[in-house]
Structure formats: structure tokens, C-alpha cells
Structure 1
């Protein structure tokens, strides 16, 4: 079995060079490495499709240019496909040691790690940060929807939904790891969670008439979102007991995640966790009516 790493490179030269070097120096590295230098007008969906069309290997391994893969990542990818000939795709997770400092970066990167680590096994979506698909399956499905997703969004999730609805199986293997080098700010977190994740994801769920319970759409996420809304109501109505009780619910629902924050980043990061988590969930709540409105507007003649 042969692998081809497809890397949609940005103008962030330092992280791209680090990504490519890690791929080349990994154990049993891919037989092919295709780096797509994408101009601003070319989104990651189109860049990945372009790389996939040039590949000849059996399996495509998509690696974002701000990820430094662990040395054994490709060994584990090869093993997953070798042990299960019927497997269409397998993807991994960020590790628990994000490169970027800062409270927002620590929170957001470790949250992504925690969500993937908690959802191991059969998946109903896909992740292209460090994810692999058999090339014939990918091409047969038509690849990423580059016409719909012109900028980084949920193009990988949409592809995963398409593949699974067609009878393909995708696996989330939390031991396939990469270190994330992305730096988050409060503004970039809100914009991404609302415009590039939340709203498009709601539209996808409505379009496909599904209610996914994998990744960050499980019951705990939904309960946390409801409690976060309670926090906001308590603040706006000047009812501190309501706000405090709602915040306590958020904390109780997510104690394992906050324990991870404490273990990896200490008390200061842990203290920042609940308010940042509430904000993250509130943005998700706001995304729901916006997504519904845009979905209905798109359906109307």
C-alpha cells in the first residue's frame, strides 16, 4: 500500500516548512508528497482536490500546513487500512501539546484535541487536518466540494457525511497525532466558530436531515450550550444566582476537559476555561437561527 501526503500550503512559510519536514522525516513516510502552493483565491478544498488529482498512491493523506505530524502517524495509518480492507478513511487528532501559547490558543487547540480523543471509533464525518482516504473512494465521491466551500470551513465534514451516507466507513483513531501550530485570538475564535463552523454545519445538518451525535454535537455539548445560554440570561436579567448556577452546570459537564487544561497548562489556563467555553457555546447557539434562516432562504424559489 502506498501513501501520498497532500499539503495545501499557505504563505506562513515557517509552519509550512516545519510541516513538510515532519512528513519527510516520519517513520515509513509517504511514497509521494504533494505540496499545493495555493494563492489566496484558491481555498483549501480546491487545493486538496488539485493535489489528489496529481497523486498516484493508493491512499491520500491530507495534512494541514500548520500541523507537525508525530513520527509514527503514517505507520498507524498504514496499519489501519491494512487491518481493515473495507475501511474508506481514517483520521486522527491534534496532540495535547499545542505549540502556540496564550489562553485562547491553549483553550481552542486543547478543546479540539479533547473532542477527538473522546469520540474514538466509527465516525460519521471526516477531518482533513490529519486525515486519510483511499484515493479511489475519494475520486469516486468527487472530492471536496470546492464550489461551495471557497474558504476554510466544514468541507471535510461535508465530504465525510457524503461518504458515510454512501455506505463507506470512516474511523477516528485518536493515536494518530499531530502538533498544531495555529495561534488563536478571541476574534478569530468567534469568527471561525460562527461563520466557518457553526452556520455551515447547521446548514449541512438541515440539508441532510441528520442529527449527528459525534464530535462536538453530542448530548454533553448540547447541554453545555443550554447552560451557557442560561449564563447569558442571568447576566442580562441581573440575576447572579441564575448565571452562577448555569456556570456551575457548564463546569460539572466538562470537568474532564478542565482537568486536561490544568494538567497541560496550569491554573491560569484552567480558570480561563469556563468563560471561554461559555463564549464558544454561545456562538454555537447564535449559529443555529442564522443557519436555519440561510437554509430556508436557499430553499425558497
Structure 2
């Protein structure tokens, strides 16, 4: 173990056409006190000159001719890093002046800590409704989660360099901004390493979410691959799986909410074909149950943005439960197909073979 009194820290930022958000990311990084020992920017096939901004900033720049994904970019940055601690942030994240000192202090105070993750703050950079909703929900999820985390987070996550390299870094098969950080966290936990969610370590997310970008990211880049990991962990270690599915977005209340949303959809579809008092009552019961079960998050939205904003979040929140449940169902079918049907298809047809 490295002497904690002399810990150094390298900031690693993968960027692909970062634009104004990346400019703000670097500007805020320049205000860090104390500054990091090293800043490494991996330009992942960018075409907007983001690498030049990084060079002007004074960062060590690694340029890739074509985009290979943030997992590969972060791994290349980690191999270039010389510090004891690797601190990963995204190119659309702005840190605070004391962020670097917070990270170093935590590792100094907890020499047996392997990795830590932070949280988005409650003041997202983009002003449109979906960006405010999405980032505030992310903030709430982290702020109400257990400090003993089961996942890593590439947008604001730090890890000891020697352990990161020993674990092989991020899984590079994820070519999109996906769940490569979650997958790394699962492997760390399986090896017995400790990951801490530090709720006071906050960064600002600058990304502007739109309808298409939000749904695509949540469904294809998060829910589907996350389901695949959960099922893989369940097959390998049922004990670890129980711990993983109780973390962050996978709490019991969220799973119950998914069931209630589908019950509500079923009641509404039934009411279209068969109108009755019983169906109407069931619809009201399911809706009320969802509101009651998710009361804490709606209270949070109300405290932060008021009544009208909170009302607007409800259908989006329920839609989130709907497509999360759909992704889980699709993931189970795909997992079952790969595990049971695909091996059968690969078996040779032995009916016409000669036997010895």
C-alpha cells in the first residue's frame, strides 16, 4: 500500500466532440485547489478540435484516430497516468474547487478503501425540463443510497491505480457510453474490494437531455446491458446478486413500482375494451399506490423545483419504470436464449453419423 501521506492524483477525461461543455469542464478543473498532479485527456476520435483545447489547457493529450468508446479511452489514460489515484470524470462534468482535495483526503483517511464515487449536484447545468428531471433524479438516487456501494461510476469516480490496472480496467467491449463502470464495480466487489459512495463529493452535470437521447441512453445503454450483468452475476454467485440488486436504481421499491406500472397499464387497456366500476377502482388504486410508494422522490422534486415541475415528472417517472421493466423482460429472454437454446443449436446432427 502506498504511503497515504504522499498520495498523488491523476484526472482522466475521455472526450468525443466535447464542445462548450468540455470547455467548462476544463475551466472548472483549472480552479481546483490544490490542482491535480496530472490531467490526461483522451480525444476519442473527436472532430471538433477538443484535443487542442486540452493541449492549450496543459493536459497530457492522447489522440485516437477513430472512436473506440469511453471504456477504451479511460484505460489508455490510466496506463499513461503516473499517480497513485485515478480520478475519472466525464467531459460534460464540472468539478468544484475542493473536489480534488476531497478525493485525496478520503483516500488518506481510509487506507483500505479501493474506490469511491460521488454524486451529481442539485443544480444541473442545462435548464430544459428533461435535463433538470434526469439529473435531479440521479442526484436523489445517489443521495439516498447506501454509502457501501456495489458499483463504480465513470462520471465522478476515483480508484487506486495499482488495483485498477490489476483488475484489467474497464471492459472495452462496451463501445458506447454504457455500463462499463458498473461492470467494473461488480468485479471489484466480487474480489472483496471496498467502494464508497461519498455523498458530499458532488459535481455538476452539464449535459442537455432530449427525449430521444434520454430514452436511448436509459433503455439501450443502461437498462438492457445492466440486466445482462445482473443475470450473469446471479448465475455465477446468487449471494452477490442479492447485494447488487439492492443498490441504487434496483431497490425493492423500484421493483414494486415496475409491477404497479404494468398493472396500471393492464387496467387501462382493459378499461378501453371493457368499462366497469371494478376496472376504474383498480386504476385508481394502482395510481395511488405508485404515488405513495414514490412519495419521497416527489417530495424531493417539490422541494427543489415546486409543484408544477413535480407534476410534470410523474408521467416521465412512470415511463421510466415501464421501459425498465420491458428491458428486464427482454434481457431475461435473451439470457435464457443464449444459455439454453443457443447451445442446442450448436449441437451437431448425429442422426446420420457413423458410430464407433
Is the pair's TM-score, using the shorter chain for normalization, greater than 0.5? yes
Q: Secondary structure at the match of 1:25?
A: coil
1:36 maps to which residue? 42
| Native 8 Å contact 1:91 1:172 kept in 2 | yes
Asked if residue 109 in structure 1 is aligned to residue 135 in structure 2, the reply is: yes
Per the TM alignment, residue 266 of structure 1 is displaced from its structure 2 partner at its CA by 2.2
Give the drift of 1:247. Answer: 2.1
| SS of residue paired to 2:174 | coil
Q: Distance in 2 between matches of 1:65 and 1:288?
A: 30
Match of 1:184 in 2: 209
> How far apart in 1 are the matches of 2:37 and 2:123?
28
3-state SS of 1:297 partner? helix
2:158 aligned with 1:132: yes
Question: What is residue 51 of structure 1 aligned with on the other side?
Answer: 77
The alpha carbon displacement at 1:44 in A equals: 0.6
Which residue number corresponds to residue 222 of structure 2?
A: 197
2-side partners of 1:12 and 1:85: how far apart? 35
Question: Unaligned 5+ residue runs, structure 2?
Answer: 1-6, 46-65, 235-240, 272-278, 344-356
Pairing partner for 2:267 from 210, 234, 239 = 234
1:15/1:66 contact within 8 Å kept = yes
1:13 CA drift (Å): 1.6
Q: Work out the CA distance in 1 between the residues paired with 2:195 and 2:176.
A: 24
Contact 1:5 1:33 in 2 (8 A): yes
Moved more, 74-83 or 87-96: 74-83
Deviations 1:116-152 (A, max 9, x none): 0011411111111100000001000000000x20111
Alignment partner of 1:149 is 2:174: yes
1:224 and 1:253 in contact (8 A); partners too: yes
SS, match of residue 174 in structure 1: strand
Distance 1:135 1:125 in 2: 17
1:255 to 291, 295, 307: 295
Structure 1 runs of 4+ with >4 Å offset = none
Tell me if the contact between 1:97 and 1:264 (Cα under 8 Å) persists in the aligned partners.
no
Spell out, residue by residue over 1:190-214, the C-alpha distance to the aligned partner (whole angstroms, 9 max, x if none): 2222111111111101111113201
Gaps of 5+ in 1: none
Aligned equivalent of 2:29? 23
Secondary structure of residue in 2 paired with 1:202: helix
Paired residue total: 300
Query: 2:146–2:247: 8 Å Cα contact kept in structure 1?
Result: no
- Aligned match of 2:332: 292
Cα shift at 1:294: 2.2
Residue aligning to 1:14: 20
- Greater Cα offset, 236-245 or 224-233: 236-245
Greater C-alpha radius of gyration: 2
SS at 1:237's partner residue? helix
Distance 1:206 1:78 in 2: 35
Aligned to 1:175: 200
With structure 1 as the length reference, what TM-score do the two structures score? Answer: 0.96
Instruction: Tell me how far apart the structure 2 counterparts of residues 29 and 255 of structure 1 sit (CA, whole Å).
Output: 41
